[in-house]
Structure 1
Amino acid sequence: MREIIYDVAVSLDGFIAAPGGDASAFPQTGPHADAYFERLGSYGTVIMGRSTYEFGYAFGLEPGARAYPHMDHHIFSTSLKVPEDADVAVIRDDWLAQLTALKKTGGAPIYLCGGGMFAGWVAQNGLVDRLILKRAPIVLGQGIRLFEGLTDPTSWAAGAVTPYDNGVTLLEYARA
């Protein structure tokens, strides 16, 4: 069974973006970013919600195009509009069954990309297998939480800890 890995930058106070999805306060360059881009090559599929997918539009992503060319894309949304010939799959209903089936297919790990609401839903359903957190030395005070809407506690086993000179710390966890 394929793992779902939530690989995301997070502030000291647990936010993945400031209000409006602004991620500009996070360190964008350095060895932590290089390691992230290297990890992206190990994922075969990306899953995300509509807001995370549409966030890419501000950076030139065209509706229906892949944000990560080497990965299969599954966008979970009831309202996203993409062209009929889109290069992404939009999952509109029966999300739990669809995501469970996706995990059972062969291949490289599944990258859970961004999205506090969607990540909260995936975690609430017990489907996140690993966390890779790029803990940034910033406090945002408000914004998009790491997991929105998560109501049940989940336990994680600590793994590797990698500190970087710019203050970012990479923290790895596996579901306990």
Structure 2
Amino acid sequence: MGMIKVHEFTTVDGIIGAPMWTMDYGFTPALGEAIGGFMASCTAILLGRTTYEEFAPAWSTRTAEDDPGAPFFNDTPKYVVSSTLKQADWNNSTVLGAYDAEAIRRFKESIDGDIYVSGSATLVRALLADGLVDELHLLVYPIALGTGPRLFPEGAPQTKLELAGSQAIDNGVLHVTYTPATTD
């Protein structure tokens, strides 16, 4: 059974929308190592439709020479949660259908290795609400934007987490890892 490992780029005020603001901080080798560290055990990628539609054209033409992450994104089996997407053309992609917590539990049990999720805010919110996220990796950038989509929007249900690790990265980013809070 695979663990679901979610990765989000976020600002200190919790904005997770299209992370163009990350460009000002550079993608340093240390940042690459941090991301590669939690991706290493992943043998599947789970994405929401919007993130899939953004990733497919961005990654499908990249090679290892362009970006060391390209082989992972292009060769790893990808699964898309969507009620509207009927077909996924990016290499090794499968549409799972609309979000269904029980279907995701079965999917999780069927994977040998862990499952990587990036972006996919709507999907991640549902996975968190249904207790399906095993690790939440937040890469917190030292900038506040004041407005934009948030992983935990106002009015969302309370989500208790436990700190599993933290790492300051050389470009000012903080990698914080959370797991579901254990019950008493």
Which residue in the other structure is 2:179 paired with? Answer: 174
Which residue in the other structure is 1:15 paired with? Answer: 15
Which residue in the other structure is 1:36 paired with? Answer: 35
Matched residue type, 2:35: Y
Number of matched residues?
169
Q: RMSD over aligned Cα, in angstroms?
A: 2.6
1:164 aligns with 2:169: yes
Matched residue type, 2:129: Q
Percent identity reads 24
Which residues of structure 2 form unaligned runs of 5+? 62-70
How many Å apart are 1:150 and its aligned residue? 7.6
1:113 aligns with 2:111: no
| CA distance in 2 between partners of 1:138 and 1:119 (Å) | 22
User: Equivalent residue of 1:5, what SS?
Assistant: strand
| More helix by percentage | 2
**TM-score, scaled relative to structure 1:** 0.82
Matched residue type, 1:4: I
Aligned counterpart for 2:78 among listed residues 73, 78, 103? 73
User: Equivalent residue of 1:102, what SS?
Assistant: helix
Matches within 5 A, 1:117-128: 117-128=122-133
How many Å apart are 1:11 and its aligned residue? 0.7
**TM-score, scaled relative to structure 2:** 0.79
Conserved 8 A contact 2:75-2:91: no
User: Equivalent residue of 1:69, what SS?
Assistant: helix
Deviations 1:132-173 (A, max 9, x none): 111111112222322458832121111211112321111111
User: Equivalent residue of 2:92, what SS?
Assistant: coil
Which residue in the other structure is 2:3 paired with? Answer: 3
Which residue in the other structure is 2:64 paired with? Answer: none
How many Å apart are 1:121 and its aligned residue? 1.1
